[in-house]
Structure 1
C-alpha cells in the first residue's frame, strides 16, 4: 500500500456504443470497474435525437451497477423544453448527478439552441431542479481550444463554478504542472470546489495524436518521440503508456488532486493497470 488513502477517489467515463456487441462488452467493463468501488461513472452524450435515446439507455444500464451514474448533458443544439423533459426523465430514473457541458458547435446550419454556454446550462438546471442534481462541469488546464487565452478561459471556468457546479473534471493532459497552474489560477478567482484531473490511458499512438490535436491536449515531445519509436509494437506502447500515466497520476495525487477521472474508451484493462500501480 502506498501513502495514498484507499480506495482512491476514482471515477470512470464511458461512451454509448453503436452496436449491440459493443453494449454487451460495456456491461462486462462496467462490472469490472464497479468492483473497484468508484465514486461515479459518467456517460458521454452524442448530440441529436437518436444518440440521446441511446445515451439514456446506456445510462440506465450503467446505473444498474449501483454506482452513481452521471450522464453528460450538452446545451448546444438543445432547446429548454427538451432539456426540461430530459431532466424530468433522469429524475424519475433515480439519476442525481450530471456533467453539464456546452457541447460541440454544430457543423453546417444546425441550431445553437437557447443556451449558449455551460454556465447558462448550470443556471438552468439549478433553476429547474434546485439542488436535486450534483453537477460537474469541464475544465481545460491547457486552455479550451476556442479560448482567446488562458486567463479568459479561467474566468469562464470560474463563472461556471459560481453558477452552481459542485465540481469540475478536466480535459486530459500529460503535464502535471499544467493542472497545478490551472488550479492555482482558479483558486485565485475564488473557486473552492474540487477540480478532478481527467486521465487518458495511452494505448494507441495514432488515435491519441489525432484526438489530442482535435481537443487541444498537448502530448509532450518526449512522449511523442518515444511512442513514435515503437512503430506498431502495441505491447511496447501500452507498457510505456501505463508507466507514464501512472507516474502522472502519482504526481497529481501527491500534489493534492482530489481524485482521478479515467477516460476508459470503454475498455477496462488499460485503466486498471494504472489504478493497480497506484494502490500497490
Structure 2
C-alpha cells in the first residue's frame, strides 16, 4: 500500500501547562513527516495572537509546513488581510479559511467592515497573495444548509473563489465520506482535493458532545461499543481499533490523504499511524 499523505490539526495553548502539552504533541507527531499541520482559531478570534505565535514557533522549531486558520469573525477586512500579510512575511503560505463561529455559539453576524462569509474571505485571500487556501467541507451537511445539494454547491463556490483543497468535518462511517465524495465529483469537484477529517476518540464523552454540536451522526453500533468499553475499562483498545479501521477503509476506497484532529493529544493519532504502517522517519545526525 502506498504511504498516504497525513496531516495534523493542533489548537493554540492558553496556559503554560497547555503549551507543554502542545509541544509534546508536536514532538511526538512531527517525525511522521506530515504534509502539513494546522493551528486553529478560537471562536470570535479569541486566540488570534496565540494562533500566530503557535504557527510561527512550530514552523521555526520543526521546519513543518504550518497552516494558520483565519475566520470572518470580529475582524475587519483590513485587519484580516493584515494578519495574512504578516503570515506571508513569516514564510507561512498555507491558510485554512473558515467563516468561523461566534463566542457562545450564537448566529453569525458579520461586521459591517468585515468579510460577510467564507466565499468573500477566500476571494480576499486569493487576491492578496500567493496562498495555498484550504477550506472546510461537511459530509453530513452544514447545520445551516437546507440540504446536501446546497451544501455541495457552496463548497464548489469555495473552490471557484480560490480554495485549493477542503478538509471535512469528522465522521464515523466511511460510507458517509464516500457518498459525499461521489456527490462532489458529480457536481464537478475533484474528489482528490477533499481530505477526510479524522477524530481519534481519546474521550468518548467529549467526542459525543462534539458530534452533537456539529451534526455528526453516530452509528448505533459505535455508540453502544464505546458505552460498553467505558463500562469494561477497555476504551483505548476500542478507540485504536475504530480509528484504524476507519482509516483503512478510507484508504481501500482510494483516499490518498488523512487529516487528524489531534486535540493536542498525540497517543491515539500516533498509534493509528503505526497501525496503518506509517512509521516515523528517523533522521541520523552527527554520526561519527
TM bin (shorter chain): over 0.9
Q: Which moved more, 1:45-54 or 1:150-159?
A: 45-54
SS where residue 218 of structure 1 aligns? coil
Per-residue CA deviations over 1:93-114 (Å, capped at 9, x if unaligned) read: 1100000001114556985222
1:9-35 deviation digits (Å, cap 9, x = unpaired): 000000011111211221121122110
Distance 1:214 1:137, change over 3 A: same
Q: Tell me the distance in 2 between the aligned counterparts of 1:177 and 1:120.
A: 32
> What are the within-5 Å matches in structure 2 for residues 261-272 of structure 1?
261-272=259-270
Q: Deviations over 1:87-130 (max 9, x none)?
A: 1110111100000001114556985222222121111111122x
- Whole-Å separation in 2 of the counterparts to 1:37 and 1:49: 29
The correspondence of residues 61-140 of structure 1 with structure 2, limited to 5 A, is 61-64=57-60, 65-107=62-104, 112-113=110-111, 114-129=114-129, 132-140=130-138
- The answer to whether the 8 A contact 2:43-2:102 is kept is no
> 1:78 Cα deviation (Å)?
2.0
Instruction: Please name the residue that 1:200 is paired with.
Output: 199
Query: What is the aligned-residue RMSD (CA, Å)?
Result: 1.7
Partners of 2:165 and 2:37 in 1: CA distance: 14
C-alpha displacement of 1:264:
0.3
Q: Is the 8 A contact 1:70 1:97 kept in 2?
A: yes
Instruction: Specify whether residues 83 and 11 from structure 1 end up closer, same or farther in structure 2 by C-alpha distance, changes over 3 A only.
Output: same
Q: Secondary structure in 2 aligned to 1:230?
A: helix
5+ long unaligned stretches in structure 2:
279-288
**Alpha-carbon deviation of 1:220?**
0.8
Query: Which residue of the partner structure matches residue 44 of structure 1?
Result: 40
- Contact between 1:242 and 1:273, CA under 8 Å: does it hold in 2? yes
Partner of 2:255: 257
Cα deviation, 1:218-262, whole Å, max 9, x if unaligned, reads 11110101111233555x112111101111101111111121000
Give runs of aligned pairs for residues 155-174 of structure 1, distance below 5 A: 155-174=153-172
Which position in structure 2 is the counterpart of 1:229? 228
Q: 1:81 to 1:207 in 2, by over 3 A?
A: same
**Following TM superposition, by how much is the alpha carbon of 1:63 offset from its aligned partner in structure 2, in angstroms?**
1.1
8 Å contact kept, 2:30–2:64: yes
Q: Which whole-Å CA distance do the structure 2 matches of 1:254 and 1:261 have between them? A: 16
Taking the aligned partners of 1:257 and 1:58, their CA distance within structure 2 comes to: 29
**Contact 2:45-2:74 within 8 A present in 1 as well:** no
Partners of 1:195 and 1:258 within 8 A in 2: no
Q: 2-side partners of 1:61 and 1:24: how far apart?
A: 13
- What is the TM-score with the length of structure 2 in the denominator? 0.90
- Relative distance call for 1:232 and 1:266 in structure 2 (3 A) is farther
CA contact (8 A) 1:106 1:112 kept: no
Q: Does 1:27 align with 2:23?
A: yes
* Aligned counterparts of 1:277 and 1:263: Cα–Cα separation in 2: 17
